């Protein structure tokens, strides 16, 4: 197919739009996801964690009512033992949902032997892959939006206060960031679903990548930082340089990008994502809150980074899929 | 616009140094059933994928319905139905839901799509079970659903890869019937198989594949003539003196070999059906003709003989 080996010097022009049939694929994929048992389990899981952590947060917040101008945002970030805050849950729930949505998207069609039949219809491979990605992406967006609305509803009922405009704006941006953070893992799992014929292998590979970034990358970043910018005498500049190296390295992980973005968006008092706070989700910096524009400025590189990684990974899966021989 | 539904000129496909299809020149006419015949790995499926534009040829030219499948991919795929060797469906969906997806991919929607789906399901006899999940279907039902699936787009050409593989003889026979009835509707059919007797029943012409080449092409009897030299064997039972009968048989015009089998059985080989001549000769010789039958050579024999020859040639 569009793998363009050129038999003649004339450029091959493809007939029609590469997106013919895209929406048929998207709607079919979404319908599949929505009705699958896999998704129901995950939905129950995420609703339970959302309800649990938000309820716990509300109990804490009731005691401190009126002390914070951004009470609603605290719903996402406040924790009470033994439950962590909702955003801490999200850091691993979102990758889990995303991987579950796409780890068998291409190899599943192979194994069911539906791929050649579907590709024999008047569509291009582009439409199939894009449709599968968008179907999963929209499903993810739908689930997360529903949870987001649920938390808002719980908040209004539980706290008896409506959110102000800035809280709505900040949490909306937070929602968008979370969706794109999920997008990265959708694309990761999709790449593996093209590379590996066995869905189980693809799922395992995706989870390994996620574990690597969640657990090991932080350790590796500090190790590498010690090698790249060693502290020899112990001057302040040396220590600062090492910390900066470590931070730069840890930002290669989408988890760091996401954590920093969440922090700046949900805690208006955060003034910088540098130095002081790589992972401390609840460690608030003292001081007066920043306006939304300023907070967005702080995390703009992280935010665009998340979107860029999603697009890059999708492009990779695209190239791999176009080159794949479809005969089973 | 060429007069052929499928035409390939020196079509070649190489995978990492291995030549799957080698200088293939294939021509299929409007309305015929053409069988690609050959052992597994002879290049049949690769040829089919190139015809559909699902794999790019390394060199050579393909024309399907007058179009180049690598350029006019969408037009070709909207007029050509493809039934893969093991046709797969979404097991968790019903037959109807599976077909709705295919209809949508073909740009059909709304009432006309539903109507078409009902029509094709009725056509293959699956309308009663249309709302059952495909997971509950038997192998034969899936194969019929595969036909329904390609009929949705109202194809001018249907390509089937090993359509009767895994079917029991009864289901296979039903399926071959269906192929014939599709031909009667004017649909051109290309099918690949290694099950010779089935190809023989249903195909107007066959092409014999061996190591990426089409080594023989023609109707079954033409192939028989080419490979075996003698396409017909007349077996007769006659009472009388064997020497007299053999003498008479040798005089029959068109015979190329005469043998006395055993008792009162004789064999005459010929390039065409010469039963009337044989009967006349026997009767005129004064013997009593008890029985007369003709055996058309089966593809199996042609096949076996051909590959025997190839093996011999390789040894030498």
Residue B225 lies in a domain: no
In angstroms, rounded to a whole number, what is the distance separating the alpha carbons of residues A55 and A263?
A: 20
* Structural domain count, chain B: 2
Identify whether B142 is part of a domain.
yes
Q: In this complex, which of B57, B73, B106 lies closest to A124 when CB atoms are compared? A: B73
pLDDT-derived band of residue A277, with 50, 70 and 90 as boundaries? very low
Select the more confidently predicted residue: B160 or B86. B160
Residue B47 and residue B74 in one domain: yes
Lowest mean pLDDT among A196-200, B102-106, B260-264, B301-305: B301-305
Listed range (A55-69, B230-244, B271-285) with the worst mean pLDDT: A55-69
Task: Kindly report, residue by residue over B184-225, the tens digit of the pLDDT.
Answer: 999 999 999 887 777 878 899 989 888 888 888 888 778 777
Is B21 in the same domain as B73? yes
A18, A40, A122: which to substitute to probe chain B, counting the most B Cβ within 10 Å? A122
* pLDDT value at A212 more than 90: yes
Q: Across the interface, do B73 and A1 touch by the CB < 8 Å criterion?
A: yes
Residue B119: what pLDDT?
A: 94
Q: Are residues B112 and B18 part of one domain?
A: yes
Q: Which of A137-151, A199-213, B50-64, B266-280 has the lowest mean pLDDT?
A: B266-280
B260-278 average pLDDT score:
84
Q: What is the structure's pLDDT at B109? A: 87
Structure tokens at B34: 């053409």
Q: Which of B193, B218, B243 is the last residue of a domain?
A: B218
Respond yes or no on whether ipTM tops 0.95.
no
Percent of chain B with pLDDT over 90: 44
Nearest chain A alpha carbon to B82: A120
Read off the CATH number of the domain in which B279 is found: 3.30.70.100
Banded model confidence at residue A1, pLDDT cuts 50, 70, 90: very low
By the 8 A CB rule, do B298 and B197 touch?
yes
CATH code of the domain covering residue B57 = 3.40.50.300
What is the DSSP code string of chain B? --SEEEEEEEEEEEETTEEEEEEE--EEETT-EEEEE--TTSSHHHHHHHHTTSS--SEEEEEETTB-TTTSHHHHHHHEEEE-SS----TTSBHHHHHHHHHHHTT--HHHHHHHHHHHHHHTT-GGGTTSBGGG--HHHHHHHHHHHHHTT--SEEEEESTTTT--HHHHHHHHHHHHHHHHTT-EEEEEES-HHHHHHH-SEEEEEETTEEEEEE-HHHHHHHHHS--EEEEEEEES-HHHHHHHHHTSTTEEEEEEEETTEEEEEESS--HHHHHHHHHHTTPEEEEEEEEEPPHHHHHHHHHHHHHHHHH-
DSSP state letter for A112: T
Is the pLDDT at A284 greater than 50? The verdict is: no
pLDDT-derived band of residue A182, with 50, 70 and 90 as boundaries? very high
Distance separating alpha carbons of residues B148 and B178, to the nearest angstrom: 11
> Is the C-alpha dihedral spanning A89, A90, A91, A93 positive or negative?
positive
Residue A251 token pair:
């930002």
Q: Where does the pLDDT of residue A117 fall: very low under 50, low under 70, confident under 90, or very high at 90 and above?
A: very high
Q: Which of A1, A114, A328 sits opposite B89 (nearest CB)?
A: A114
Q: Given this model, what pLDDT does residue A220 score?
A: 92
Q: Is the pLDDT of residue A273 over 80?
A: no
pLDDT over 60 at A108, yes or no: yes
User: Which one has a higher pLDDT value, A98 or A279?
Assistant: A98
Q: Tell me, yes or no, whether B90 and B173 share the same domain.
A: yes
> DSSP 3-state helix, strand, coil percentages of chain A (rounded to 5)?
70, 0, 30
Residue ranges of domains in chain A: 22-323
In a domain, B301, yes or no: no
Which residue range(s) make up the domain with B275?
232-296
Q: How confident is the model at residue A281 (pLDDT cuts 50, 70, 90)?
A: very low
Q: How far is B272 from chain A (nearest CA, A)?
A: 42
pLDDT score of B20 more than 50 = yes
Least confident of A69-78, A134-143, B174-183, B278-287: A69-78
Question: Do residues B23 and B147 both lie within one domain?
Answer: yes
The answer, yes or no, to whether the previous bond of A82 is cis (omega within 30 of 0) is yes
Per-residue pLDDT tens over the stretch B71-109:
888 999 999 999 998 889 999 999 999 999 999 999 998
Name the residue among A7, A118, A326 with its Cβ closest to that of B105. Answer: A118
Mean pLDDT over each residue of chain A, to the nearest integer: 85
Q: Considering only CB atoms, which chain A residues are within 8 Å of B77?
A: 120-123
pLDDT at A233: 84
Kindly list the distances between the CA atom of residue B270 and the CA atoms of A256, B182, B236, B305, in Å, as whole numbers in the listed order.
84, 34, 14, 18
- Mean pLDDT for A274-286 is 49
Judge if B187 and B270 occupy the same domain.
Answer: no
The whole-number pLDDT of residue A280 equals: 44
> Is B265 found in the same domain as B209?
no
Q: What is the model's pLDDT at position B229?
A: 65
The pLDDT value given to residue A7: 43
Q: What is the DSSP letter of A83?
A: B
Instruction: Calculate ∠ Cα A110-A111-A115, nearest 5°.
Output: 30
Q: What is the pLDDT at residue B316?
A: 63
Q: Are residues B108 and B146 in the same domain?
A: yes
Average pLDDT over residues A38-64: 87
**Of B185, B218, B251, which residue is a domain's last?**
B218
As a whole number of angstroms, the distance between CA B124 and CA B122 comes to: 5
Output the CA–CA distances (angstroms, integers) from residue A85 to A20, A232, A247, in the order listed: 44, 39, 23
**Chain A interface, mutation test: which of B101, B113, B154, most A Cβ atoms within 10 Å?**
B101
């Amino acid at each position: 197919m569009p793998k363009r080996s050129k038999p003649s010097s004339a450029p091959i022009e493809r007939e029609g739009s590469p997106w013919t049939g895209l929406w048929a694929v998207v709607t079919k994929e979404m319908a599949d996801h929505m009705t699958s048992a896999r998704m129901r389990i995950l939905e129950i899981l995420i609703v339970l964690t959302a309800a649990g952590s938000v309820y716990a947060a509300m109990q804490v917040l009731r005691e401190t009512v009126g002390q914070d101008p951004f009470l609603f945002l605290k719903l996402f970030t406040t924790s009470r033992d033994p439950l962590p805050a909702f955003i801490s849950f999200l850091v691993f729930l979102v990758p889990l949902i995303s991987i579950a949505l796409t780890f068998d998207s291409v190899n599943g069609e192979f194994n069911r032997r539906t791929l050649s039949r579907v590709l024999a219809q008047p569509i291009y491979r582009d439409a199939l892959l894009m449709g599968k990605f968008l179907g999963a992406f929209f499903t993810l967006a739908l689930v997360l939006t529903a949870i987001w609305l649920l938390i808002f509803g719980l908040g209004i009922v539980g706290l008896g206060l409506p959110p102000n405009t800035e809280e709505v704006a900040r949490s909306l941006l937070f929602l968008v960031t979370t969706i794109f953070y999920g997008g990265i893992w959708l694309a990761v799992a999709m790449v593996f679903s093209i590379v590996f014929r066995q869905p189980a292998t693809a799922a395992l590979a995706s989870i390994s990548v996620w574990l690597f970034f969640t657990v090991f990358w932080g350790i590796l970043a500090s190790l590498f930082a010690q090698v790249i910018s060693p502290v020899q005498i112990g001057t302040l500049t040396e220590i600062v340089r090492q910390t900066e190296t470590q931070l730069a390295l840890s930002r290669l992980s989408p988890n760091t990008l996401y954590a920093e973005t969440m922090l700046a968006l949900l805690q208006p008092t955060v003034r910088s994502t540098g130095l002081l706070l790589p992972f401390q989700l609840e460690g608030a910096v003292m001081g007066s809150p920043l306006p939304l524009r300023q907070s967005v400025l702080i995390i703009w590189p992280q935010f665009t980074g998340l979107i860029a990684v999603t697009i890059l990974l999708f492009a990779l899966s695209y190239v791999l899929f176009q080159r794949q021989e479809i005969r089973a | 616009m060429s007069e052929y539904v499928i035409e390939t000129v020196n079509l070649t496909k190489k995978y990492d140094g291995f030549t799957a299809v080698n200088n293939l020149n294939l021509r299929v006419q409007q309305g015929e059933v053409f069988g690609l015949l050959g052992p597994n790995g002879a290049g049949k499926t690769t040829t089919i994928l190139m015809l559909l534009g699902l794999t790019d040829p390394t060199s050579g030219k393909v024309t399907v319905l007058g179009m180049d499948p690598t350029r006019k991919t969408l037009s070709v795929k909207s007029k050509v139905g493809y039934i893969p060797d093991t046709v797969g469906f979404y097991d968790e969906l019903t037959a109807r839901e599976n077909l709705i997806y295919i209809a949508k991919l073909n740009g059909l929607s709304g009432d006309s799509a539903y109507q078409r789906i009902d029509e094709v399901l009725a056509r293959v006899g699956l309308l009663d079970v249309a709302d059952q999940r495909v997971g509950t279907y038997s192998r034969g039902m899936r194969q019929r659903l595969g036909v329904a699936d390609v009929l949705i787009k109202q194809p001018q050409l249907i390509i089937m890869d090993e359509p009767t593989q895994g079917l029991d003889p009864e289901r296979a026979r039903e399926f071959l019937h269906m192929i014939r009835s599709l031909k009667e509707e004017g649909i051109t059919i290309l099918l690949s198989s290694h099950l010779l007797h089935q190809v023989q029943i249903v195909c107007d012409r066959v092409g014999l594949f061996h190591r990426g080449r089409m080594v023989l092409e023609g109707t079954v009897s033409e192939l028989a003539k080419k490979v075996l030299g003698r396409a017909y064997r007349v077996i007769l039972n006659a009472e009388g003196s064997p020497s007299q009968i053999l003498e008479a048989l040798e005089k029959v015009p068109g015979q190329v070999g005469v043998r006395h089998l055993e008792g009162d059985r004789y064999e005459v080989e010929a390039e065409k059906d010469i039963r009337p001549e044989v009967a006349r000769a026997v009767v005129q010789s004064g013997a009593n003709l008890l029985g007369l039958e003709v055996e058309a050579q089966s593809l199996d024999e042609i096949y076996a003989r051909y590959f025997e020859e190839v093996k011999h040639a390789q040894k030498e």
